[in-house]
Amino acid sequence: MDALKLVIILPEYNEEECIEDTTGRLLSVIENLQQEKLITNDSFIFWISDGSTDNSWKLIEKIHSEKPDKVKGIKFSKNFGNQKAILAGLFESYKYGADCFISIDSDLQQDELKIKEFIQKYKSGAKIVAGIRNNRETDGIIKKITALAFYKLMNILGVNLKVNHSDYRLVSRDAVEALQKFGETNLFLRGIFNELGFKQDYVYFDVKPRKYGKTKFTSDKMFSLALNGITSFSIVPLRFVSYVGILMSIISFIIGFSAWWEKVFNNSTIPGWATIIVTIGFVGGIQILCIGIIGEYLGQLFQEVKSRPRYIIEKELK
């Protein structure tokens, strides 16, 4: 196979401390791969500035003016979130005619030297190569537990996701074309790429501690990503609501029948107000939970139906 044209996709949100370092390190990865004749000389890196309010876009512009062929990018009009930044990176760099695209976190916590392995897996036939993290040592205890619970829950709900899947990923041109047909506003890329059905392979990598700044993935953003993952790939929670409803009706019918029986045949009044109150509280709780689950899907539907643009580009460095 001939050398491939590669684009490295870098979403960033207020990462001014690492823009220069990351660009330098990735350009040297690109250079090495070019020397090994694995990728073409017009391969480049593509920054997506996701509504940063710090100096990062200025830095990207500066680097672009020095090396316009090697560093390109776009700037969002506001913060749209990391999933949309990756999506925009794929769609907007597509027009430069690359063969494959690799997204990686701009803090380079993910080992950039594994890029070669991604390319080798692509050359041996995989259309999507997903990065799987070996460890979660860099995460706090809460993130570790919630992440693990999330993957377990997704599997129970019937979504086939590999544990510790990340957005460090190689995607072929065919896969980007297929992805363009998905019009979802709320994106959970790890799920969507599974859905495409192309041949997948995996690269295992170690996660390093963050070198500069702090995480841009607040718990709030993590939670909404996880909920999107569930509500856009599984209807099991909705079905669960129906089952609970049916079960509750059967139980209440039995309770009603037994109360009637006691009254008519034994003429005994039922003692135990407490039981009644507890039951009412319990059923009320279940109902609110169920309405909440339905609300999540309704919210998802509401956002999809409006079909607003998924991102808005304010500036572009060609």
State the nearest-atom distance from the C-beta of 91 to ligand UDP, in Å.
15
* Closest chain position to ligand UDP (CB): 215
Residue 81: contacted member of Mg ion, ligand UDP, none (CB under 5 to 8 Å, by partner type): ligand UDP
Q: Which positions ≥6 away from 120 have C-beta within 8 Å?
A: none
Residue 106: contacted member of ligand UDP, Mg ion, none (CB under 5 to 8 Å, by partner type): ligand UDP
Nearer residue to ligand UDP within complex by CB, 83 or 232: 83
State the nearest-atom distance from the C-beta of 257 to ligand UDP, in Å.
54
Nearer residue to ligand UDP within complex by CB, 15 or 117: 15
Nearer residue to ligand UDP within complex by CB, 85 or 175: 85
Residue 81 CA to residue 153 CA, distance in Å, equals 23
Among positions 17, 99, 107, 111, the unique one binding Mg ion when judged by CB under 5 A:
107
Q: Which residues bind ligand UDP (CB under 6 A)?
A: 11-13, 15, 50, 79, 81-82, 85, 105-107, 109, 215-217
Cβ 3 vs Cβ 201: under 8 Å: no
The candidate with the shortest Cα–Cα distance to 150, out of 242, 241, 231, 238, is 231
Residue 21 CA to residue 116 CA, distance in Å, equals 20
Among positions 109, 194, 231, 232, the unique one binding Mg ion when judged by CB under 5 A:
109
Place of tokens 């718990």: 219
Nearer residue to ligand UDP within complex by CB, 2 or 220: 220
State the nearest-atom distance from the C-beta of 272 to ligand UDP, in Å.
51
Residue 112: contacted member of Mg ion, ligand UDP, none (CB under 5 to 8 Å, by partner type): none
State the nearest-atom distance from the C-beta of 122 to Mg ion, in Å.
24
State the nearest-atom distance from the C-beta of 105 to Mg ion, in Å.
5
State the nearest-atom distance from the C-beta of 105 to ligand UDP, in Å.
4
The candidate with the shortest Cα–Cα distance to 94, out of 174, 31, 196, 182, is 174
Nearer residue to Mg ion within complex by CB, 162 or 210: 210
Nearer residue to Mg ion within complex by CB, 64 or 216: 216
Q: Say how many residues touch Mg ion, by CB under 5 A.
A: 3
Among positions 16, 17, 50, 105, the unique one binding Mg ion when judged by CB under 5 A:
105
Site residues for Mg ion per CB under 5 A: 105, 107, 109
